[in-house]
Homo-oligomer: A and B are copies of this chain.
Amino acid sequence: MATQRIIDFLATRRPTGPCLVVDLDVVEENYQSFRRALPDSAIYYAVKANPAPEILRLLASLGSNFDCASVAEIEMALNAGATPSRISYGNTIKKERDIACAHALGVSLFAVDCVEEVEKVARAAPGARVFCRVLTDGAGAEWPLSRKFGCVPAMAVDVLTHAHALGLTATGVSFHVGSQQCDTEAWDGALADAAFVFNTLAERGITLTLVNMGGGFPTRYLKDVPTAQAYGRSIFAALRRHFGNRIPETIIEPGRGMVGDAGVIKAEVVLVSKKSVEDANRWVFLDIGKFGGLAETMDEAIRYPIVTARDEDRKEPCVLAGPTCDSADVLYEKTPYPLPISLTVGDEVLIEGTGAYTTTYSAVAFNGFEPLRSYVI
């Protein structure tokens, strides 16, 4: 949401063009909420959500660890003050030369989900710790994940056995319950799968110690979401249920949940028009769209709260679209978005909850437009 600090920054600095403003105080509050909610879990911030150096430095100073998707993200985390031991190379799809590069930088924790990836890690990072990602069904998530990452639990047993045989440390299991996961019970089934992998490998003499419970923690958009505390209680109960008194080390990887509500995009109304005099709905065009950072409006998946200075006026639904010459650059059309009927060209709008997955998604130069600028305050 737009904090007073963000509102003051925009009023004072008056940046031109669309931009994201992130309030570090909110990031710090989110970090402490996760800390309190899951005091026994290590927090690995998902750098891909927002890799702004100021955010990484703050989280490094607070003691966070970092989940990185690429060598570039590993370097960003190191530059922010994290030691290699606080970094996980969490992408299951890695080039062997990138694994070697991470290994050379001191990183020793890697995600895998198949024997082919295990073999790369064994060659390029001998002796490293690996955790195997298992598939989940993603029920309850606003963005259930595809089957892209992970393997079935029975295969995870083989993958970790193979890792052990190649001299790697088979350290545990990871999963991801789906993005913007609003069901606090969603972790239960995946933890049952994790316990199955732990128990089966124990029978083979391989002792796993780590469960990486991934991200999925939501940001509040238009609807309320459960608190970090509610997730913490539910996850702890599920751990107790499936692991009894032998609860393993656990990791969580909040990304959206850490920075989503810390950021607000300031945008401008470029045009308000109709396609014919009979049309029921207006079209409202902003100076930011799908290719300028709002990629998560794809299929109208995420519906961001939008604030204007005219919100006291009557609202009517409109089709909301971006400024490019691409006809796919439409934010909300299937479910038109209610905005004030008095909204007009030049008006400023604030798009809330946009701290995660906006800056890095933006196209490098589509239609000649610059990538989304960002200010971290």
Contact A345 B120 (CB under 8 A): yes
Q: Which residues of B contact A143 (CB under 8 A)?
A: 327-328
A368 vs chain B, min Cβ distance (A): 3
User: Which residues of chain B come closer than 8 Å to A325, judged between CB atoms?
Assistant: 46, 48, 69, 90-91, 149
Q: Is the C-beta of A76 less than 8 angstroms from some C-beta in chain B?
A: yes
Question: A51-B368, A327-B149, A368-B70 known; A271 and B93 CB under 8 Å?
Answer: yes
Count of chain A residues near B, Cβ 8 A: 77
Evaluate contact between B328 and A273: CB separation under 8 angstroms: no
* Shortest Cβ distance from A90 into B: residue: B325
> Is A151 within 8 A of B271, CB to CB?
no
Nearest-CB residue, chain B, relative to A91:
B325
Complex CA–CA separation, A183 to B377 (angstroms): 53
Q: Per-residue CB proximity of A92-131 to B under 8 Å, as 1/0?
A: 1111100000000000000001111100100000000000
Asked if B271 and A116 sit within 8 Å, CB to CB, the answer is yes
Contact between A364 and B368, CB atoms less than 8 A apart:
no
Is A362 in contact with B360, judged by CB distance below 8 angstroms?
Answer: no
Kindly report which residue of chain B lies nearest to residue A94, judged by CB atoms: B270
A72 to chain B, nearest CB (A): 3
Count of identical protomers in the assembly:
2
Partner of A146, one of B270, B327, B360: B327
Is A202 located at the chain interface by the 8 A CB criterion?
A: no
Q: How far is the CA of A358 from the CA of B314 in the complex (A)?
A: 42
Q: Provided the pairs A325-B69, A364-B362 are in contact, do residues A147 and B76 lie with their beta carbons within 8 angstroms?
A: no
Is A339 on the interface with B (CB-CB < 8 A)? no
Please state if A271 and B117 are interface contacts (CB–CB under 8 Å): yes
Note all chain B residues with C-beta closer than 8 A to A273: 113-117, 151
Q: Does A34 make an interface contact (CB < 8 A)?
A: no
Q: How far is the CA of A329 from the CA of B291 in the complex (A)?
A: 15
With most chain B CB atoms within 10 A of its CB, the pick from A95, A325, A363, A364 is A325
Instruction: Decide yes or no whether A321 CB sits under 8 A from chain B.
Output: yes
Whether A150 sits at the interface, judged by CB under 8 Å, is yes
- Digit string of A38-54 for contact with B (CB within 8 Å is 1, else 0)? 00000000111001000
Which one of A7-15, A162-170, A223-231, A274-282 is at the B interface? A274-282
Residues on B with beta carbons closer than 8 Å to the beta carbon of A46: 325
Q: How far is the CB of A256 from chain B (nearest CB, A)?
A: 12
- Residue contact B71 to A368, C-beta cutoff 8 Å: yes
B residues within 8 A CB of A277? 154-155
- Which residue of chain B is the closest to A135 with respect to CB atoms? B275
A361 close to B148 (CB less than 8 A): no
A323 at the interface (CB under 8 A from B): yes
Instruction: Assess the A321–B70 pair: CB atoms within 8 A.
Output: no
Q: Give 26 A-B contacts (CB < 8 Å), ordered by A residue.
A: A48-B325, A48-B367, A51-B368, A70-B369, A71-B368, A72-B369, A73-B368, A90-B325, A91-B367, A93-B270, A93-B321, A94-B271, A95-B287, A114-B273, A116-B271, A120-B345, A146-B333, A148-B321, A148-B329, A150-B275, A151-B275, A155-B276, A291-B295, A359-B365, A360-B363, A360-B364
Given A95-B268, A145-B327, A152-B275; 12 other pairs, CB 8 A cutoff? A51-B365, A51-B368, A72-B365, A93-B271, A96-B346, A117-B273, A143-B328, A150-B275, A151-B273, A151-B276, A154-B276, A154-B277
Residues of A within 8 A of B (CB): 46-48, 51, 68-73, 76, 90-96, 113-117, 120, 135, 143, 145-152, 154-155, 179, 268, 270-277, 283, 285, 287, 291, 295, 298, 321, 323-330, 333, 345-346, 359-371
